[in-house]
Structure 1
Amino acid sequence: MHRVWNVEINEYNSTQNRKYETIFTLANGYRGLRGAIEFSKIGERGNFIAGVFDKNTAQVTEIVNCQDPLIFNIYVDGEIIDIDSTNLLDFNRSLDMKNGILYSNYKVELKSGRILEIKTERFVSRNNVHRWAAKYIIKPVNFKAKMFIENIIDGTVVNSTLDLANLTKHFEVLDAEDFKPGIALKTRTFDNKIEIVEATAVLSEDENGNIFKSRKYTKLGEKVRELYEFFVEEGKEYTVFKYGITYTSRDTKKELFEVAQRELRDFINIGYEAEKEAHSNVWQRLWDGMDVKIKGDDTAQIGIRFNLFQLASSAYPDDPRVSIAAKALHGEGYKGHVFWDTEIFMLPFFVYTNPEVAKSLLMYRYNTLDGARRNAQLNGFKGAQFPWESADDGTEVTPKWGVDYDGNPVRIWTGDEEYHINSDIAFGIWEYFRATKDEEFLINYGTEILLDTAKFWNSRLEYNKAQDRYEINRVIGPDEFHEHVNNNVYTNYLAKWNMKKALEVKEWLKEKDRIKYKTLCNQLGISDVDFKEWEEKLNKIYIPMAKDGKLIEQFEGYFDLADIEITEHDENGMPVWPDLKGHKLHDTQLIKQPDVVMLMLVLGEEFDLESKKINYEYYEKRTMHKSSLSPSMYSIMGLTVGDTQNSYKYFLKTILTDLEDNQGNAGHGLHAASTGGSWQSAVFGFGGFSVDENEIPNFNPWIPEVWDEFTYTINWRGSKVEVTVDRKNVSIYSQKDIDVKVYGKDYSIAANEKLVVAR
């Protein structure tokens, strides 16, 4: 049982350090600490606090890699323990996902022949997000000696250590302080002047209490340290605790050193074990509402739990000013920016397992609405244009330039052309409301976003007089291989949906809260004249189709491009680049990730099964999966249309994206969209869960041969619903009365009853 809750490695290879720092990251939504090994200098350490952004000399605003509080050095008679320069006799690291604790064991032989065993554990508290801690059990196997423990907070940290041309420092060190016990370092970001304090304290114990014989505090430029001296006997174990506290000026108006010192003392007073237990209890509650259980397939079980663990670690319901970045709090990849990944890939997981978090993520969009309005204004449009890449204020922060593999400058167009983000956010609002019926949210926040995004689309539509239709030209759809295309179906269809939904919801608001409706129209500068115009235009938005009306053309002219066949796959089952026969990539039908298929997943109830099948079969053969967002969506659609063989393959690709590093860049941070896609693959795919046009939960599960039993939990309108699928039956338990459809048949389930349907 223990095994299917743990991600474990037993061999050390320093070239893999960055990858495992991502995999072993511990986060609580407020902050993330990359899973660095204290006793190795190789890797890319990271301390990321949600919402702490800065630009300074960087190309665009990015998440700040804050001062490093993790440094913990052990010396034996002056010789430092460094697993890269000593003889490593034993090594093990294990992430206990059930309790959110990272365990590491090291046995090293020093140049002097002395052997030392170190067992460590670390957690970033879910009980109190400002706390983190580590425990070290040190055992001199064959010697007695004088030893030192060095606790350091390092303020020399920079961003982009792997990108020499863009190396940037985002904060200045203001001050250091001796907390006696403990040390603290205060820094301040350059742009927004956000102050950050990291405070740590080291305490020790054996059967006689404290083992330290002396302590020395030193401020060393941009670093602060405390050094402890102690003496060890052969074969005896010594325990050292490290307590950590983090606060920023975003959290409190009070003086940060005072807040941190008081919090650190409280933490020490409560003690390591008590906080660890409280932290584990929070994880137990989280797992109770989100766990996906797979019997008979340990790879799938560990894989899905890893994705759920890291996704749940990335969200913080108590700060509506932050969202989840594409790399979560796990690395500097994509500069800590928020994309459509959040609303389309990650949000459904929270909508159906932890709606409070989903609401907070959507509130981030509401709180950055003014930035979105500025984007629209700068681009000559009305309403709100949400940025393709978002940081702290909602203005567009997509870099304008990047470099290709040869180091040549390449213009990045996504920030200028990938407009579909607006509808993705609108859809996220509707999905949340549909699952929760949170009227207060829709009245006070959601409707404003729906109306302002519809207002944007209305101003973005272009009239084609010759064809008497409205078009959206020069865009990028989800498939980013094709830039500057006209009438991308995903974009056009969802723009139409967005405008239609805004008109529906404003009618609803007029009934629910007439005063709010009037003030909103007044505030946004819209009236019945605008609504009439939206209605007329949305009915004339052009959707490219093949002549039979079933196969949808991804964008205007797509079917005229060179049709290159994918014939080979690599050891990870991913497509190998075919010979482009002299064509440029954008002149072929090869696509980066699902686009038309994505549309049919987002708005599933609007397309019949035959259309889904035809489009799945056509586009699946042409997809290169050059995005971690891709396999999960093909897994779900494959199950929908009966391609069960490929669905399981795509599911494994998705859940192992980071664990097997099948995109080759796990070291840069978590593939957060893929973690959300993993849950969707499990629940929407194998679990067969969907919501139909009448807002009735539907269940059409299918499980692969290798699974004996499959169980998942969702939250539907405040009721916990548990679904179990085995070889013979589908069982559904609900806390409240609920109407459902199972394999197309209607059933009613009474509160706390279980429905059993034969498969």
Structure 2
Amino acid sequence: MHQDYIQPNPWSIIEEGFDKGRVKSSESLFSIGNGAMGQRANFEEAYSGPTFQGSYIGGVYYPDKTRVGWWKNGYPEYFAKVLNAPNWIGIDVEIDGSALDLATCSNIKNFKRELNMREGWYQRSFVANTSKNIEIEVVATRFLSLSHDEVGAIKFEITPLNSDASIVFKPYIDAGITNEDSNWDDKFWNTTKITSEKNRAFIASHTMKTNFKVCTFMQAHLSYGDNLKVTPDAEKKEELSIGFEFSQNVKKGEKVSLTKFGGYTVDRNHPPEKLTEAANTVLDQASSLGFEGLLEEQKKAWASIWDMSDITIEGDIKAQQGIRFNIFQLNQTYTGTDSRLNIGPKGFTGEKYGGSTYWDTEAYCLPFYMATKNQEVARKLLKYRYNHLEKAIENAEKLGFKNGAALYPMVTMNGEECHNEWEITFEEIHRNGAIAYAIFNYTRYTEDYSYIPEMGLEVLIGIARFWQQRVNWSEHRNKYVMLGVTGPNEYENNVHNNWYTNYLAKWCLEYALEQLEQVQQNHPADYKRVMEKTKLTNDETGLWKKVAAHMYFPYSEEHGVYLQQDGFLDKDLVRVADLDKKERPINQHWSWDRILRSPYIKQADTLQGFYFFENHFTEQELEKHFDFYEPFTVHESSLSPCVHSVQAAKLGRMEQAYTFYLRTSRLDLDDYNKEVEEGLHITSMAGTWMSIVEGFGGMRVKDGKLSFTPKIPEQWEMYSFKINFRERVIKVTVSQNGADLEIDGGEPLEIVVNEKPITLSA
């Protein structure tokens, strides 16, 4: 059974009724972020029930020492932790001397949370009785500003309903926080200074080892009727926290409200000695706008994001809510303003998967950002990898590769590998190919070739060198083989000749050779610079050609399909449909040994290759491979349903495509994998967008032209989306009666719809 408590609504995520068992799940689902920082939807006031406190700052991390039972050469020294940052949202509340705590309050009524995705704010409201039986109504609203991304704002309003009450607000900031997933219970933060002036407070701290310097700050004021109280009645300073106290006698039926601004200034953006000064500047700006002014700016900023990235669906409210939730969370996680940041698999919603960057960015997220932002944003994601090329070369050197071969990390914060399961760290090397593929995908889509001579060619050379050194010649097969790898299907480790990895390696070598030729012809100065820097020789490129031409691919004549790896047919080929439902998901019911010996596929593996290189194969070949592999796929990775949805739509199997779409779009809202309390699956959310735009919309770039083959699930009356293609905005609307395409201004554009060329004019 999936969870089913989120109310269907096209623009909001809404929970009604208080249930202690759902608190941690809701803390994930109602998370907010602005690209620079984010936080789980923890209560501002004290809560003594089970909760998972989480605030995070983009790019601030801690290298937690790797913990494994048996150390192997080449292991990464540490596992980079997404760091729980000092908490600035806290507001303890006392009513006639008793603490407000929903775990101990009685008669909780009208409890409601709303995450308003259209306008970018989160609100919680309820009526409850304190231990002294004073009935109060609480409305707490908060958001993280997109236009001033170092600050967030909270308005906490209380109305006593059955009697007058003395209400005390105690806003505070606290640096005494820990990570839930710490390996050694190390102290991650060191607090150096706590200061205050009037109604502002500051905590200076830095991370251990990485030494990121952060100033956590707040400002608070109280309003009651016409009175504005700016100076706190008292201040409480402790070793790791500082708080203010505002007291007010409140008449029955009247409202008192505390407004709090808070956030972080970081030495990634300011000189370390000026962090408090920078915090004061941010607070001055927030104060001059006020809560309402900041909120107005927030609504405008989100309106502008939605104008380009919204997907509308008519006739299916759960599908509509699902896609908007996914688009909203992607935009909260990465805004494209800072090329040092990337898209973490949990974004700002949890600590799992420590690290900010996986191959998910290149394989799944890049298409979303290319089409819904300007190309500069996508280019920044590619630049991020170029900036980490030296580290990728170091990563390969640690494993014994030479001569500038580059292995990009499975998981990273700063370009260095920080993942420590050997069968993934050393063997899941297909990630290297996803980075080369992203360069190809970007230039194909944007027609911006400049990235390759400026940066991309060096990346492609490093990757090609890696693949050429990673294969070995098999006398037995008279081919190059690749041993001891893990494909995207992590339910198979240490296999030989994973088809997807071998195919990607061959393609990378050929693509690097093509680009060398192009740059030599059209950008001779860049070519000369890159050749001098990389010392690439003709002997090397000759070897690349040889490896690409003689790569081995496992194939079954009997089934007429490429085999996921050597020995796949030796497995007991029982389809997923014939498994006992009580044993699903298998990763929660089976031993790892049993999973590894089974034919079950965690996510698209061979089919991932058919997704990337669709134009290398006929539709009949896709169909054959889809029919062979999908029945063995358990979809226990969040990245699985979207690829299958796109391919099912291409094959005209709309019912299946729709089922996969719903699963990917509501993966977290309905908690399919029963783990949402750990955080959201941010990178797979881009797959939801792909399911509609590339799946149902059939969007491709073929021979340099934009192409569509629109289809629509029978459950929908209509859907529409916009894409930014080479600085031109195209709107696609598909109904049960056909498709309508429009272009915003500018020169006419020739595109292809259902294989026929048409010209779009403004």
Q: TM-score, normalised by structure 1?
A: 0.93
Indicate yes or no: 2:638 matched with 1:620: no
Pick aligned residue for 2:163 from 132, 140, 143: 143
Counterpart CA distance in 2 for 1:48 and 1:295 is: 36
Counterpart CA distance in 1 for 2:83 and 2:507 is: 37
Alignment-mate amino acid for residue 228 of structure 1: F
Counterpart CA distance in 2 for 1:230 and 1:263 is: 28
Pick aligned residue for 2:14 from 8, 11, 20: 8
Contact 1:212 1:228 in 2 (8 A): no
Pick aligned residue for 2:145 from 100, 125, 130: 125
Indicate yes or no: 2:475 matched with 1:475: no
Counterpart CA distance in 2 for 1:280 and 1:678 is: 24
Unmatched tracts of structure 1, length 5 or more:
401-411, 753-759
Residues 336 and 227 of structure 1: CA distance in aligned 2, closer, same or farther (over 3 Å)? farther
Corresponding residue for 1:32? Answer: 38
Indicate yes or no: 2:326 matched with 1:307: yes
Which residues of 2 match residues 80-119 of structure 1 at below 5 A? 80-87=99-106, 88-119=108-139
Pick aligned residue for 1:21 from 27, 30, 41: 27
Alignment: residue pair count: 737
Residues 27 and 52 of structure 1: CA distance in aligned 2, closer, same or farther (over 3 Å)? same
Residues 541 and 24 of structure 1: CA distance in aligned 2, closer, same or farther (over 3 Å)? same
Offset of residue 581 of structure 1: 13
Determine helix, strand or coil for the equivalent of 1:90.
strand
Counterpart CA distance in 2 for 1:317 and 1:344 is: 17
Counterpart CA distance in 2 for 1:646 and 1:166 is: 46
RMSD, aligned α-carbons? 2.3
Contact 2:608 2:643 in 1 (8 A): yes
Pick aligned residue for 2:346 from 327, 330, 344: 327
Corresponding residue for 2:59? Answer: 51
Corresponding residue for 1:349? Answer: 368
Alignment-mate amino acid for residue 504 of structure 1: E
Offset of residue 234 of structure 1: 0.8
Residues 583 and 18 of structure 1: CA distance in aligned 2, closer, same or farther (over 3 Å)? closer
Residues 146 and 323 of structure 1: CA distance in aligned 2, closer, same or farther (over 3 Å)? same
Which residues of 2 match residues 646-685 of structure 1 at below 5 A? 646-685=656-695
Residues 563 and 414 of structure 1: CA distance in aligned 2, closer, same or farther (over 3 Å)? same
Corresponding residue for 2:460? Answer: 450
Counterpart CA distance in 2 for 1:274 and 1:195 is: 30
Offset of residue 399 of structure 1: 2.1
Corresponding residue for 2:722? Answer: 713
Percent identity, aligned pairs only? 27
Q: Deviations over 1:26-82 (max 9, x none)?
A: 111111111112232431111111111112556422121111111111111221111
Counterpart CA distance in 1 for 2:325 and 2:592 is: 42
Offset of residue 166 of structure 1: 4.3
Pick aligned residue for 1:415 from 425, 428, 452: 425
Corresponding residue for 2:211? Answer: 193
Residues 91 and 377 of structure 1: CA distance in aligned 2, closer, same or farther (over 3 Å)? same
Which residues of 2 match residues 477-492 of structure 1 at below 5 A? 477-492=487-502
Alignment-mate amino acid for residue 648 of structure 1: Y
Residues 281 and 429 of structure 1: CA distance in aligned 2, closer, same or farther (over 3 Å)? same
Residues 204 and 520 of structure 1: CA distance in aligned 2, closer, same or farther (over 3 Å)? same
Contact 1:572 1:662 in 2 (8 A): no
Offset of residue 9 of structure 1: 0.2
Offset of residue 442 of structure 1: 2.4
Contact 1:569 1:576 in 2 (8 A): no
Q: Deviations over 1:699-727 (max 9, x none)?
A: 11211112111101111111111100011
Which residues of 2 match residues 348-367 of structure 1 at below 5 A? 348-354=367-373, 355-367=375-387
Corresponding residue for 2:73? Answer: none
Counterpart CA distance in 1 for 2:200 and 2:591 is: 65
Corresponding residue for 2:435? Answer: 425
Corresponding residue for 2:751? Answer: 740
Corresponding residue for 1:390? Answer: 411
Pick aligned residue for 2:514 from 494, 504, 513: 504
Residues 18 and 166 of structure 1: CA distance in aligned 2, closer, same or farther (over 3 Å)? farther
Alignment-mate amino acid for residue 71 of structure 1: G
Offset of residue 301 of structure 1: 0.2
Contact 1:58 1:166 in 2 (8 A): no
Residues 208 and 580 of structure 1: CA distance in aligned 2, closer, same or farther (over 3 Å)? closer
Indicate yes or no: 2:378 matched with 1:368: no
- Out of 91-100 and 557-566, give the one that drifted further: 557-566
Contact 1:332 1:668 in 2 (8 A): yes
Determine helix, strand or coil for the equivalent of 1:589.
coil
Pick aligned residue for 2:595 from 585, 609, 613: 585
Counterpart CA distance in 2 for 1:270 and 1:609 is: 57
Alignment-mate amino acid for residue 115 of structure 1: E
Corresponding residue for 2:88? Answer: 69
Residues 315 and 267 of structure 1: CA distance in aligned 2, closer, same or farther (over 3 Å)? same
Offset of residue 530 of structure 1: 2.0
Indicate yes or no: 2:251 matched with 1:236: no
Offset of residue 101 of structure 1: 0.5
Unmatched tracts of structure 2, length 5 or more:
1-6, 68-78
Contact 1:657 1:674 in 2 (8 A): no
